[in-house]
Copies of this chain bind each other. A is one copy, B any other.
Amino acid sequence: MNDLIQVSDRLQVFGNLESNVRSYCRSFPAKFKRASGHQLWDAEGRSYIDFFAGAGALNYGHNPPEMKKKLIKYLVEDGISHSLDMATEAKERFLTRFNDVILKPRGLNYKIMFPGPTGTNSVESALKLARKVTGRQTIMSFTNAFHGMTLGALAVTGNKFKRSGAGVPLNHTLSMPYDGYMGRDVNSIDYIESFLKDSGSGISLPAAVIVETLQGEGGINAASDEWLIGLANLCQTYGMLLIVDDVQMGCGRTGTFFSFEHCGIVPDLVCMSKSIGGYGLPMALTLMKPELDLWEPGEHNGTFRGNNLAFITAAAALDYWESQAFSHEIEEKAELVCNALVEIVASVPELKGEVKGKGLMQGIAFEAGIAEKISALAFERGLILETSGTDSEVIKIMPPLTIDRTGLVSGLQILKDCIFDIAVDVNLLVSHP
């Protein structure tokens, strides 16, 4: 009771003035003040380990010093802050670095678009371009997909609660089963193809397919390489463009810069945002094969396409990708996480947990209700982690990629303790119904 009052006191301004739509401040009821690396501190001086990483916007941790230094220098020197889509030195530097460090070494030849500073902006621009290039209207998306909150992106998002917020029918889209949706034995690619090749299936040939290689919001569902390759082939066969939404899975989250690198497919369009800005600053990219760049000047525009502070930190963030070292580091941490999760799940079989995910986007799926309890308890003990899935059934481990071994182990230990304590409660409940 005392605690509740304190919380409500602490967050009174938000309760009074901010719309009811606010959400994370309800799960994590602290007022944060300062952050560095994988740690945050609230106004009362309490520290927290961050296994949430700004929902993927803070892959390089909070306020990484090398970027911070460059950012302050740029501010001090009165570098351009806001430039619409005018040319600036900061933008030129980012473009050059992105091409040299990311695109060229991977043999990728993409034109780069700045579609507005958010993921949903990038998705909207990709859908527009796909429709323009093909002259078709339907976009195929997948069950449990998450692509954004503006009307075009929402129409390819699976979540019923979010969709109903639209207030209008969400059309011109086709929701198809993601890998594994029809059970592990059924290949949903075959099923999708039957709809495409059949002239009586009641659907229109899509302009494009939009897909996440791993569904972070939708329950940490990873598509297999075979499935992704099958999907890319389907796109080729039927003349649909392949759009990979790498907003959350890009920038190294799954181990490589792009999440699709390891399986060898080359999407026609790629959506990037979140950690692309490096420092958590709003920025987004849409990558497109040059032959698809049929935009007219200004056909898609926006005020904040030129967030030059983000260009500075984004360019600096690319330093991580100069060599393979960062990827190897992520993989090692990913293995550590995976082993820990497998061990936890094995230790509390009564919770029937299932380890999911890859890279530093992993989690454990439980029955409804458990994951939310874990998240709440962990927060009380100084660990921030979110749930995932439309029923919040998955506890999600998504630390900054730069987290050190100590931080990672500490966080996992808190998680383990919480799960064990909750298992005790569940067991008590079971034995004394």
On A, residues with C-beta under 8 Å from B are 10-11, 13-14, 17-26, 28-36, 40, 43, 54-58, 62-63, 68, 71-72, 75-89, 91-92, 95-96, 98-99, 111-114, 116-121, 124-125, 127-128, 130-132, 137-138, 141-145, 148-153, 155-169, 171-173, 175, 177, 181-182, 186, 191, 194-195, 198-204, 207, 218-219, 247, 273-274, 279-282, 286, 288, 293-304, 307, 309, 389-391
Contact = CB atoms under 8 A, between A and B. Distances in A.
A150 B160 CA distance: 20
A81 B32 CA distance: 11
Given A128-B166, A169-B172, A202 B88 contact: no
B95 A81 contact: no
9 contacts: A17-B98, A20-B296, A35-B80, A121-B150, A160-B204, A171-B172, A173-B202, A175-B201, A274-B303
B25 A201 contact: no
A38 to B, nearest CB: 13
A78 B64 CA distance: 9
A99 B15 CA distance: 13
Contacts of A309: 281, 309
A13 B41 CA distance: 42
Contact of A149 (B116, B166, B204): B116
Nearest to A26: B297
A161 B300 CA distance: 10
A12 to B, nearest CB: 9
Contact of A168 (B99, B169, B301): B169
Stoichiometry (number of copies): 4
Q: Which 3 A-B pairs have the closest CB atoms?
A: A131-B167, A82-B280, A175-B202
A334 to B, nearest CB: 22
Nearest to A134: B167
Residue of A130, A200, A201 most packed against chain B (CB within 10 A): A200
A339 to B, nearest CB: 29
Given A128-B167, A282-B307, 18 more contacts: A20-B294, A20-B295, A28-B86, A31-B88, A32-B87, A33-B79, A34-B80, A36-B78, A57-B304, A81-B280, A119-B302, A120-B121, A124-B150, A165-B296, A167-B207, A173-B202, A175-B195, A181-B194
Nearest to A143: B201
A77 B33 CA distance: 10
